[in-house]
Amino acid sequence: MAKKPSGAALKGRIGKSSSRWREKSEEERKKKVKPIIVPLIDTFVILVIFLFQNFSAEGDIMSVAPDLTLPESVSQQKPKTTVIVAVTNKSIIVEGKQVMTSKEALADEDMVLDSLLAEMLRIKQIKEAVAASNPDRPFKGEMTIQGDKLITFELLKRVMYTCGRAEFGNIALATLKKE
């Protein structure tokens, strides 16, 4: 029969393994913990993509000039991201840049408003350059007119005619949703 180890021999074995455990844990404690950054970045990228897909920017597509009061409509059509021309009683603004005053536009004998036409042709060139390098975004001649509800029809007609001459023929009129 095999002899069982005595208590002293058994104690020696336990003591050796526990001292190894202490040494190992001290070594591990001395090591500095380095966070793994790549999985953290991956997680944040996925989170940002998820938020972009679920974020509704419907109200942020178009901002209205402070001195502009849009007419109301019962139309349910949602606004698109297009070139925006704001027409107020004071000025005509293309993409946030004032191109002429409303008085100048009405005083002009010609139906074509030269300053507006020049700006719209400049924007058209930019849109066509983008379309040439990116076939997924063709130039469609889309634009939105934000016309103050107090402007004259003559002014609106001249703005629309001028934009049409610059090949922006797909015109939408911005309105507020009537409740």
- Mean pLDDT estimate for the chain: 78
pTM here is 0.59
CA 56 to chain centre: 10
pLDDT score, position 99: 94
Domains of the chain: which residue ranges? 7-54, 58-177
Residues 36-48 pLDDT 10s: 888 888 888 988 8
State yes or no: pLDDT of 131 exceeds 80: yes
pLDDT score, position 147: 84
State yes or no: pLDDT of 120 exceeds 70: yes
> C-alpha distances in angstroms, 179 versus 56, 76, 167?
21, 11, 34
Cα 27 from Cα 19, distance rounded (Å): 12
CB atoms within 10 A of CB 32: 5
State yes or no: pLDDT of 69 exceeds 70: no
Residues 163-179 pLDDT 10s: 999 999 888 887 766 66
At 96, is the pLDDT very low, low, confident or very high (cuts 50, 70, 90)? Answer: confident
